[in-house]
Amino acid sequence: MKTLLITGSEGFIGSHLVKQLEGKYKILCFDKAIGKDIRIFEDLNDVFRKHKIDCVVHLAAFAGVRPSIEQPLLYLENNVKGTMTLLEVMRRYHCNKIVFASSSSVYGNNFSNKASSEIDVKRPISPYAYTKSTVEDMLKLYHDTFSFQSISTRFFTVYGPNQRTDLAISKFIKAIMEGSEIHVYGNGKQSRDYTYVGDIVSGIEKAVEKILKTEDICESVNLCSNYTVTVNQLIEKISKIIGKKANIVYEDKKLGDVNLTYGDNKKAKELLNWAPKVSIDEGLKQQYLAELFSNQKNKNYSKVLLYKQNIKSR
């Protein structure tokens, strides 16, 4: 059985990935939540010294465009320097295969309404996007110089059960459930390519399978739905699922926010034999049901099961 090190294993995507891959690989978890930091050489060295690792899935990063505007040095320190430390420890222990969690933000602001493809020029407009783009460049350098094999999976607006509470869909669901205000930055006509976390995890698994059986690879690939929804349409969909009207307050657009994320997933289909399976409507229903289960005010299991039966019939 092959051994995988998953950094960021306790996060939103990482926790789903660990469950998905358990039993298929020997999984080594690495996360700040369990006292391990990619910026600390000794933490990484210790796990590589104790285990023969066949591939790293590198999810650990400070996430979010807006916080990176406020703390760019922190993002650079963690996302870029931390990754460099990881790569150097990998090199020390002759582990040269890595699947990296990149981001659609590397494309920058898309005003063309054309789906972004991997051949498009990267134009990051936030420190967060810059760190993701820089790591992709580092992986190309390590491929050319040290024979590293890598696949950078570019995620497009990931959502689903157990999403971080500071992210838009989670915040929208909570606000509509409670009847509180939803703050939308801009006019709400910004479009996003929302990709369900289960599909993202499936794409990562396909990337791991690919890289383990490939001798020479250095690729970036979009994991996306190839379908866009405006913020206003998204809120309308959530309102319909919950059965309550949203109270929207429009505010000025935030620095670093992009107009459109819209990905072409042809390369993922060809390279990884991957395609998304969960529609935005079904994915939103699943996330809302997860919110119901986790909400302390909704502990009545029978009511949730009844709602689940009703929601499937809509």
Q: DSSP H helical segments within the chain, as ranges?
A: 12-21, 41-50, 65-70, 72-75, 82-92, 127-146, 168-178, 197-212, 231-242, 266-272, 280-294, 301-312
Distance, CA of 152 to CA of 220 (rounded, Å): 4
Question: With contact defined as beta carbons under 8 Å apart, do 203 and 274 qualify?
Answer: yes
Distance, CA of 93 to CA of 37 (rounded, Å): 18
| Secondary-structure percent of the chain, ordered helix, strand, coil, rounded to 5 | 45, 20, 35
Question: With contact defined as beta carbons under 8 Å apart, do 82 and 89 qualify?
Answer: no
Residue holding tokens 């042809």? 266
Catalytic residue among 75, 128, 130, 262, which?
128
Question: With contact defined as beta carbons under 8 Å apart, do 79 and 132 qualify?
Answer: yes
Is 128 labeled as catalytic in the residue annotation? Answer: yes
Question: With contact defined as beta carbons under 8 Å apart, do 102 and 135 qualify?
Answer: yes
Distance, CA of 68 to CA of 82 (rounded, Å): 16
Question: With contact defined as beta carbons under 8 Å apart, do 148 and 88 qualify?
Answer: no
Catalytic site positions: 128
